[in-house]
Structure 1
Amino acid sequence: MGIMYRSRKKFGPLILNFTQRGFSSWSIKIGRWSWNSKARAHRVDLPGPLSWKQDKS
């Protein structure tokens, strides 16, 4: 198993995700709600280590 390179750049609520191959996906995070372009899923952070996720289906 090799070493993976991952990087995130934040511009306010917009987050750009990069891997060793280049641009990977973008996300929007407003408060506890977020949406990811690659997974096309909504996520809401819940208290503690829990979160709720709704897939694109």
Structure 2
Amino acid sequence: MGLMFRKRKKYGPLILNFTENGFSSWSVKIGRWSWNSRARAHRVDLPGPLSWKQDKSRSRA
């Protein structure tokens, strides 16, 4: 497995994610809640090392 290039640019609550191939996805983070355009998942940071995630694709089942 080789090295991977990843870069994040933050503009307030908006986060742009880049890889070696260019732009990859964007995210919105407000407080403990965040949403990612690629995973289309909501995530909530919980106390300690825990977090809760809900995938949009799995919630339709």
Question: What TM-score results when the alignment is normalised by the length of structure 1?
Answer: 0.98
Identity %: 86
The answer for unaligned runs of 5 or more in structure 1 is: none
Displaced runs of 4 or more, over 3 A: none
SS in 1 for 2:38: coil
The answer for unaligned runs of 5 or more in structure 2 is: none
1:19 paired with 2:19, answer yes
User: What's the RMSD between the two structures over aligned residues?
Assistant: 0.5
Cα separation, 2, equivalents of 1:55 and 1:38:
11
How far off is 1:9 after superposition? 0.1
Cα separation, 1, equivalents of 2:51 and 2:3:
28
Question: What TM-score results when the alignment is normalised by the length of structure 2?
Answer: 0.92
1:47 paired with 2:39, answer no
How far off is 1:11 after superposition? 0.1
